[in-house]
A and B are shown apart, each in its own frame.
Chain A
Amino acid sequence: MEIKILHWYYDIMNLYGEYGNIKILEKHLKDQKLKVIVDKKTVNEDVNLSDYDFIYIGAGTEDNQMFVMQDIMKYKEQLKEYIDSEKVALFTGNSYEFLGKTIDEKEALGILDFETTTLKDRKTSDVIYKSKFLKKQVVGFVNKMSNIVHNLNPLFEVEFGIGENENKDIEGIKYKNFFGTHISGPILVRNPEILEMLIRIICLKKDKNLVYKKKEYKNEKQGYELVLSELKNRMNDKN
């Protein structure tokens, strides 16, 4: 069986190290004895989203986000269809802001009901989040300049660090099998459980009979546990 991955806007929405997500996903899918094709596409390159089993976009600078917006608007219907058909997508950093109605005054895709406003100052923070979809906490780093207010299903609850906006203790959006979070960089390398969850859903969506075979990844697990304990210590120091 063949799994097709789209690393969209790979060369622009790449704040730092986002390609690690694709590398590890590809490897772990191959460990499931699946054939994997990764397509890297960027602005002004035609794509047919329905060809894919997984779509990823990483974080970008504010200018690059606006630059990509001109391009991604062409895919409004295609992307809506993709997400509505419960196919899997992960948008990290400011890339998931594309899905809202507006970014500042500019029209965005409008697939989900939220608005993004740009802040005056940048916000950066190590974070610990938790989620009802996961047994363990999530670790990562947020590096953003935006505020989002919405009443959608959040992806995470904030345990340490910053969230979606000043008032709420939530972060990210989960809609069907679309996952959006401001955590930047190789989130899938640093959070083995999210990676496993995504692979399980990708397999399931591909073929109901395709069952994920549990595999232990010791190094990633140890790396995750170390970062979590570092961040927990930090959190306790601060309290």
Chain B
Amino acid sequence: MKTAFIIMVSKLLYKIGKVIGKGSSMPGKIALKLDKNILRKIKLPEDIVVVTGSNGKTSTTEMICNILQKNGYNVGCNTEGSNQTEGVTTMILNCCNLKGEVKKDVLVIESDERYLRHTLKFFDPKYIVVTNLYRDQMTRNGHPELIYKIIKEGIDEKATLVLNTDDPLSSLYGYKKDNVVYFGMNENNLSTKENTSVYNDGKYCPNCKTLMQYDYYNYAHIGGYHCENCGHERKEPAYAVTNVDLQTGEITINNKYNISMSLRSVYNAYNMLAAFAVTNLIGVDEEKIVSELTEYVMKNDRVQSFELNGHEAMLLTSKHENSISYNQSLTYLVKEKKDCTVVLIVDAVSRKYFTSETSWLWDIDFELLKDDCVKRIVLAGKYVHDLKSRFEYADIEKEKIVAFKNLDDMMRDVKTNSVGNIYVVTCFSDRMKFMDRR
């Protein structure tokens, strides 16, 4: 009876919250206060997928849900809500009837990497997907090795792990384990023999700190590696990108299926692969997955195309405090090979918390912009001086770079002096400051 009451309260609060525009954590928070073991009393479906990791959680979760829904599964999912314990609780209780049964075939849950260990105290997922582990929001996450350990505390022995075999850190969860399915990208025409990034977090084996041997890199420290000391290595993936054609924007999966990517970026190919793997494990036919992935247009608006004073323009939302996310945007725009102006804005480091920490700017490969197609670079925002300091050492012609602390001045310059296409590379916390000034 009490369980039914809590479910009712949570559902009601959720509805009220929706009307008054509140976030999705509050109902779950109150439900957990009323009974901290509430989720243990709920009858959950057998198929529960949890997606965690540094980058690509939301995209991967979205794709998994979409493929499942299009194939007739009734899916419960938190892509639009909070990914911490409270938000997950809200979502699950929302999927319940008053008898405490979740009336869904599958639950797909995006989990914040720091909260996974708390969230998974209350239920046992069948699949845990770890997309990757990168330097991300270090001001609150500490560093990737720490996040590795924190996630590990939450991983249930019985769960099947779906891991990125190309990432030496997150793939370590599968070390000497059987219950693991790997996805990855084979060496291809975009792979390089050397790591050209400003840092290399794959240089030493995360397991035993021996110098890691790399055969190739796909980007950053993502690639083909093996450790001669402890044997930690890239395992042959069951789900693999076997070819990449950036001209046509197509990737080939398992030598068989060609899928065109809405955004021509290898980074997103990993999210597709993870979604392919999980949905196939749940039981969707490969052909059906392929057709959904082909037709699928991302719901999230991280990439937006628009026109600005006669210039084709594109917003490439990148995460502050996350160098790989920035590198992804920079790599993309340079590979497009169009004459362009690149706008970089660092005005508020985070929208969720206060910090003036900008050390992460030094981890971004701004050197990528040393390319003939980049005609002009506009630096802007409160932390423009820190950006400028970083660019002092990026070996890019000074004449190409202009800087504005004031965003109105920036916009005036972008509107009048831009050359070629305009790419706006900035974070959720700052992107509307550009978009609203158009």
Identify the A interface with B (CB < 8 A). Answer: 11-12, 14-20, 23-24, 27, 61-64, 67, 122, 124, 126, 139, 141, 143, 145, 184-186, 189-190, 219-220, 222-223, 226-227, 230-231, 234
Contacts and interface: CB of A to CB of B under 8 A. Distances in A.
A67 B362 contact: no
Contact of A62 (B139, B145, B204, B388): B145
Contacts of B393: 20, 23-24, 27
Given A11-B200, A27-B392, A16 B135 contact: yes
26 contacts: A11-B200, A16-B359, A16-B363, A17-B362, A19-B198, A19-B199, A20-B390, A23-B393, A24-B389, A24-B393, A61-B144, A67-B204, A67-B209, A122-B142, A126-B356, A126-B357, A139-B356, A143-B139, A143-B142, A189-B362, A219-B388, A220-B385, A223-B385, A223-B388, A226-B385, A227-B386
Contacts of A12: 203-204
Contacts of A64: 145, 204, 209
Contacts of A139: 356
B308 interface: no
Interface in B25-39: none
A190 to B, nearest CB: 8
B390 to A, nearest CB: 7
B311 interface: no
A143 B143 contact: yes
B256 interface: no
B155 interface: no
Contact of A14 (B199, B382, B390): B199
B363 A219 contact: no
B362 A19 contact: yes
Q: Nearest 4 pairs between A and B by C-beta?
A: A185-B359, A17-B362, A223-B385, A17-B359
Interface string B390-401: 101100000000
B180 interface: no
Nearest to B391: A219
Contact of A17 (B143, B209, B363, B385): B363
Q: How many B residues touch the partner, as a band?
A: 35 or more
B139 A124 contact: yes
A226 B406 CA distance: 13
B150 to A, nearest CB: 10
Given A16-B360, A62-B145, A143-B138, A223 B203 contact: no
Interface string B364-405: 000000000000000000110110111011000000000000
A234 B359 contact: no
Interface string B250-288: 000000000000000000000000000000000000000
Given A16-B363, A17-B363, A124 B385 contact: no
Which of B138, B389, B390 lies at the interface centre, i.e. has the most chain A CB atoms within 10 A of its CB?
A: B389
A63 B356 contact: no
Interface string B8-20: 0000000000000
A222 B362 contact: no
A61 B146 contact: yes
B241 interface: no
A17 B366 CA distance: 13
A222 B144 CA distance: 32
A122 B355 CA distance: 16
Contacts of A145: 142, 146
Given A24-B389, A143-B138, 14 more contacts: A14-B199, A15-B143, A16-B138, A16-B360, A17-B361, A17-B362, A61-B143, A64-B209, A141-B356, A189-B362, A220-B389, A226-B385, A230-B356, A234-B356
Contacts of A234: 354, 356
Interface in B199-234: 199-200, 203-204, 206, 209
A222 B379 CA distance: 15
A224 to B, nearest CB: 8
B357 A141 contact: yes
A202 to B, nearest CB: 20
Contacts of A11: 199-200, 203
Contacts of B176: none
A72 to B, nearest CB: 14
Nearest to B140: A124
A16 B362 contact: yes
Contacts of B361: 17
A186 B198 contact: no
Interface in B325-380: 354-363
Contacts of A122: 142, 146
A17 B355 CA distance: 16
B209 A186 contact: no
